[in-house]
Structure 1
Amino acid sequence: MAGELVVVVNPAARGGRGVRVLAPVLARLREGGREVSVIVGASADDALARARTAVAAGPAALVAFGGDGLVHLAVQAVAGTEVPLGIIPAGTGNDIADALGIPRRDPLLSADAVLGGRTRVIDAARISPQGRWFAGVLACGFDSRVNERANHKRWPPGMSKYIVAMAEELRTFEPIPFKITLDDRVIEREAMLVAVANTRSYGAGMRVCPDASPDDGLLDVLILAAMPKTALLRSFPSVYRGTHTGHPAVTIVRSRKVTLDAPDTIAYADGERVGPAPITCAVEPGALRVLVP
């Protein structure tokens, strides 16, 4: 299995549209006689179990064909091993791929990076007590509550449900009393949200921590202090440009280890639900090997 590429697939990526390009991607990966196998799990747990079994056999790479959620799943299998992670973006946001310079809109170019790119060693963060890893951004606060609402909706489809969920959350949301432990200091304040970033963006291009580097051995922590909801809405578009960092309510610090404690708040990492606060994130330098152009 040493030369094999193992591709784990999310058939629901982009509402099922992403799988349309799977066949040409697999054909590209198989050029030159390369052996390629495909994992499509019956569930996320099943896909992860299959991915871990494949990684234990020592393939040339585990390749995630999907969005950030599938990359998150693949990271659980390869973090801390010598097996590199390939990423072929086929989701809506693809923020992790974008941060690593992997083409986010051209799956065939991404496949070329898997075949002929270089291996970049980057950090990942370990979440406790859950024992999960994340490669991108962990969110806790207003944005994660919106995610909670959206994930319980069957309608409307796609990104529209997040817009509806945000409007609903705004009606009742109040600033959250956070206790944030950063290495050797503690910050206690009311905040709208706290984001812990290994890479710069989440949520399909929101550059929450625009200077975050995935290989500096540190996590960037954004704290958005309590502010009127109208001010939150006015300043929201600036996060897509990364210019929100100059807002007086925004604080960004760096830390190797971060503990977030906040009542009635669920954390999401790489867009996936990872559990209620209190939650601790600790950076693990060099935990991931990723194939990049």
Structure 2
Amino acid sequence: MKKARVIYNPTSGKELLKQHLAEILEVLEKAGYEASAFRTTPEPRSAQMEAHRAGLAGFDLIVAAGGDGTINEVVNGIAPLEKRPMMAIIPAGTTNDYARALQVPRNNVKAAAEVILKQQTVKMDIGKTDKDYFINIAAGGNLTELTYDVPSELKSMFGYLAYLAKGAEMLPRVKPIPMKLVYDDGEYDGNASMFFLGLTNSVGGFEHIAPDAKLDDGKFSLLIIKTANIFEIVHLAALMLNGGKHVNDKRIIYTKTSKLEVIPKSDKALMINLDGEYGGDAPMTFTNLHQHIEMFANLDAIPNEAVIGYEDEKESHYDAVTKGFIKEVEKLSQEDIDGDGKIGGGDDKDNKHC
């Protein structure tokens, strides 16, 4: 029997996961898994260590239940393994960007678990640095530093409004940072207020920062904001909220890349943000690991253009149906049409046709 391990953060989502744990395990058993659970502890990287142990122990599925931080830890636990278990997520955090990208219900624990019953999966790209993995974003520059300054209490109480308030406070202090960014199609060497590397289209609840992001194409969405002028940044933010129109603005470089090398050009530390948390200082290299982890997702609700594997799957299914139809027609022709062009192969008196 297949084995599943639920790794859950008991403090996420007002302790909803703890209250609904029995329902989650019941859904997993209905899906054909022998299910068990692990409650994370205050120990650093508790979820990561348990995910790594479960992966080595041969578990077929690991369910990350908690916020984006818990999901990040579970991915970091299994990503280095040669044989990786499948993953599912049950969101219970503040913004739940990853659940939004996979179209997993964000306000109903049992409904999120029941996505597994649909048996729909995506082989997701993930990002890798020199020592860590990330699932959604990597970023650097003044504009990203606000995520470190928002107290966790405010995040829980006000969600992304807390980030917006802190961002408005920080804007007057945004300064350009000299950096060199080397990507697939070229390089940028100059001042920038931020670079952003995305794996999905959802960041902090906004779905237009990387409007054409694909989940499994082996490419990051790279955004470089060259200006540090407060009014221009506000204008770019308005363009972003208005359907992702910022990507065509001359004050921005927007491209796709499978790799990014970040080299600071000043003595000031260029701090790197990985999935909303401090991930070290540049220089740093980011690599896209193409279709590295298979995740359960609600494919019916994900736009087809966001998942190339799903498009390929539908196309191959269509091809299979077409080939089968042609084969049946050819078989019918050989069996039922004689050499004289008559259907049935017998005398006319024995075959009446309409």
Is the pair's TM-score, using the shorter chain for normalization, greater than 0.5?
Answer: yes
Pick from 276, 279, 290 the counterpart of residue 281 of structure 2.
Answer: 276
Alpha-carbon distance, 1:163 to partner: 3.8
Q: 1:207 is matched with which residue?
A: 208
Shift of 1:78: 2.2
Query: Sequence identity of aligned pairs in percent?
Result: 26
Q: Which residue of 2 aligns with 1:179?
A: 180
Partner SS, residue 4 of structure 1: strand
CA drift at 1:144:
2.1
Native 8 Å contact 1:123 1:285 kept in 2: yes
Deviation (angstroms), 1:100: 2.5
What are the ranges of 5 or more consecutive residues in structure 2 without an aligned counterpart? Answer: 299-354
What's the secondary structure of 2:40's corresponding residue? coil
Q: Which residue of 1 aligns with 2:244?
A: 242
Quick one: which amino acid aligns to residue 108 of structure 1?
A: K
* Alignment-derived partner of residue 143 in structure 1: 143
User: Do the aligned residues in 2 keep the contact of 1:196 with 1:219 (CA within 8 Å)?
Assistant: yes
Question: Counterpart of 1:106?
Answer: 108
| 1:287 equivalenced with 2:286 (yes/no) | no
The one-letter code sitting in structure 2 at the alignment partner of 1:251 is: I
* Residue in structure 1 matched with residue 3 of structure 2 by the alignment: 4
- Asked if the contact 1:13/1:19 (under 8 Å) is kept, the reply is no
SS at match of 1:180: strand
Distance of 1:285 and 1:156 partners within structure 2? 32
Q: Alignment partner of 2:224: what SS?
A: strand
The match for 2:123 is 121
Q: 1:249 to 1:14 in 2, by over 3 A?
A: farther
Q: Which runs of 5+ in 1 are unaligned?
A: none
- Deviation track 1:129-182 (CA, whole Å, cap 9, x = no partner) reads xx111121112123321012225x766854354344324422322122121011
Change in Cα spacing, 1:233 to 1:11, as seen in structure 2 (3 Å) is: farther
Deviation at 1:86, TM superposition (A): 0.6
TM-score for the superposition, normalised by structure 2: 0.73
Structure 1 residue 101: deviation in Å?
A: 3.1
| 1:43-64 residue CA offsets vs partner (Å, 9 max, x unmatched) | 3422221221111111121111
Question: How far is the alpha carbon of 1:254 from its aligned partner?
Answer: 1.6
State how far apart, in whole Å, the 1-side matches of 2:169 and 2:2 are.
Answer: 50
Query: Which residue identity is paired with 1:252?
Result: Y
Question: Which has the larger share of strand?
Answer: 1
Offset of 1:17 from its aligned partner? 5.2
Task: Give the aligned partner of residue 316 of structure 2.
Answer: none
Separation of aligned partners in 2, 1:122 and 1:223: 24
Q: Which has the higher contact order (CA 8 A, sep 6+)?
A: 1
Hey, what does 2:351 align to over in structure 1? none
Match of 2:334 in 1: none
- Report the more deviating stretch, 77-86 or 272-281: 77-86
**Alpha carbons 1:78, 1:85 under 8 Å: kept:** no
Q: Which amino acid aligns with 1:278?
A: P
Following TM superposition, by how much is the alpha carbon of 1:206 offset from its aligned partner in structure 2, in angstroms?
A: 4.5
Aligned to 2:67: 67
TM-score (norm 1): 0.87
Structure 1 stretch displaced more, 47-56 or 258-267: 258-267
Match of 1:84 among 83, 86, 90: 86
Matched length: 289
Shift of 1:260: 1.7
Change (3 A) 1:62 1:100: same
Give the letter for the 1:141 counterpart. Answer: G
**Which structure shows the higher helix fraction?**
2
